[in-house]
Amino acid sequence: MTSCPCNHGAEPAGEARGDSCVGGSSQSSRRGFFHACFAMMAGIAGLVVAFPIFSFMRLPKRINTAKSIEVPLADLKEDQAVFFEREGVQIVVIYTNQEPKAFDAGCTHLGCLVSWDQNQHVFHCPCHGAIFDDQGTAVKGPVNMPLKKVKFEIAKGVLVIA
């Protein structure tokens, strides 16, 4: 009696155990199936973990996509941020110490969108933990450049970003 060609001890075809070995395909197909199932479960788990992380990079819901932005100063609340999009650039306007400030909301490290922490008066970058103060100056993290300031005018009680 000779062993089957896959060398795992089964008898050749026509013998007592020969039907279980067809070139080793039953073992390898079972192993391949389990590898595919594991890869699929790992992929799904990766998506479940990644979704909350990358959802922070989206812009907040309050967005104005106009070419020029006009915000009545009376609508700005102390220590709160308002986000806008103008010609593909995300802009954040904060109102601190009775003074409005406008910045490009993209972190100067990799361009992730910063969020405003009104309690600590700082911007946080969710990607790498960079922190910017209310003047846009880099305080912590891998970034060494400040947030880009956006020019604006105040006319008749309205903040205008052209």
pLDDT tens digit sequence for 105-135: 999 888 889 999 989 999 999 888 899 999 9
pLDDT for residue 24: 54
Q: Which residues pair with 1 in a beta bridge?
A: none
145 vs 44: CA distance, rounded Å = 37
Cβ density class 9-42: b for 16+ within 10 Å, e for less: ebbeeeeeeeeebeeeeeeeeeeeeeeeeeeeee
Give the pLDDT band (50/70/90) at residue 18. Answer: very low
Give the pLDDT band (50/70/90) at residue 88. Answer: confident
Q: Which residues pair with 154 in a beta bridge?
A: 159
User: Is pLDDT of 76 > 70?
Assistant: yes
Going by C-beta distance under 8 Å and a sequence separation of 6 or more, which residues neighbour residue 21? 4, 6, 8, 10, 11, 12, 13
104 vs 84: CA distance, rounded Å = 10
